[in-house]
Amino acid sequence: MQIRAIVPDDHAALFALWRRTPGIQLRAEDEFAPFCRYLARNPQLSLLVEAEHVPIASLLVGHDGRRGYLQHLVVDTPWRGRGLASALLDEALARLAALGVCKSHVFVLRDAAEAMAFWQVQGDWGEREDIAVFSIRSEPA
Ligand SMILES: CC(C)(COP(=O)(O)OP(=O)(O)OC[C@H]1O[C@@H](n2cnc3c(N)ncnc32)[C@H](O)[C@@H]1OP(=O)(O)O)[C@@H](O)C(=O)NCCC(=O)NCCS
């Protein structure tokens, strides 16, 4: 099993992985066109692991030049507990650091119990109590 960068052709298989994973919320941005725009804007950063040519784990990775942002960290159920999420995180942070982006964030829904439990035991990651996130959604121009 190897980690490699996600390419547009991976969309259908990744979409299926995300859809069958409880706790992962699909958004308009997960459709093919915005997925491709995201990959083009953040080349070689989003990652997957595949087994026999089928994606079994994913991590979407982007940055704004200062901070990295991680989304859709997913490991397919039969493959959990083997260090795949850790391996994806390590590789993503190394790729961001190579670009000079040395601090990253992940936003986790507080009612996503499994995701919260995972992030709370990641020793290098600190849960922020000092920041509130405000969000707005605009109509496309
Ligand atoms: C969370 C998830 C990505 C973990 O994937 P994984 O490949 O099983 O994780 P790893 O094997 O790399 O585990 C890394 C560490 O986290 C711990 N861990 C893994 N899942 C955990 C969980 N649900 N609760 C608490 N700790 C967990 C492991 O024990 C391991 O600790 P260690 O390094 O001290 O041994 C996977 O369970 C998943 O896809 N869940 C559904 C989607 C989800 O919630 N994603 C997070 C979105 S923000």
Q: pLDDT of 10-55, one tens digit each?
A: 999 999 999 999 989 999 999 999 999 999 999 999 999 999 999 9
Instruction: Give the SS3 label for residue 44.
Output: coil
Beta strand spans in the chain (E): 2-5, 47-51, 54-63, 68-75, 104-106
Is the pLDDT reported for residue 127 higher than 90?
Answer: yes
Q: What separation in Å is there between the alpha carbon of 141 and the centre of ligand 1?
A: 38
CA of 55 to the centre of ligand 1 (A): 17
Q: Whose CA is nearest to atom 29 of ligand 1?
A: 81
Backbone φ, ψ for residue 137 (5° rounding): -120, 130
**For ligand 1, what atom is nearest to the CA of residue 107?**
48
Show the domains of the chain with their CATH numbers.
2-106 (3.40.630.30)
| pTM greater than the 0.95 cutoff | yes
**Exposed / middle / buried, residue 101 (Cβ in 10 Å: 0-12, 13-18, 19+):** buried
Per-residue pLDDT tens for 63-99? 999 999 999 999 999 999 999 999 999 999 999 999 9
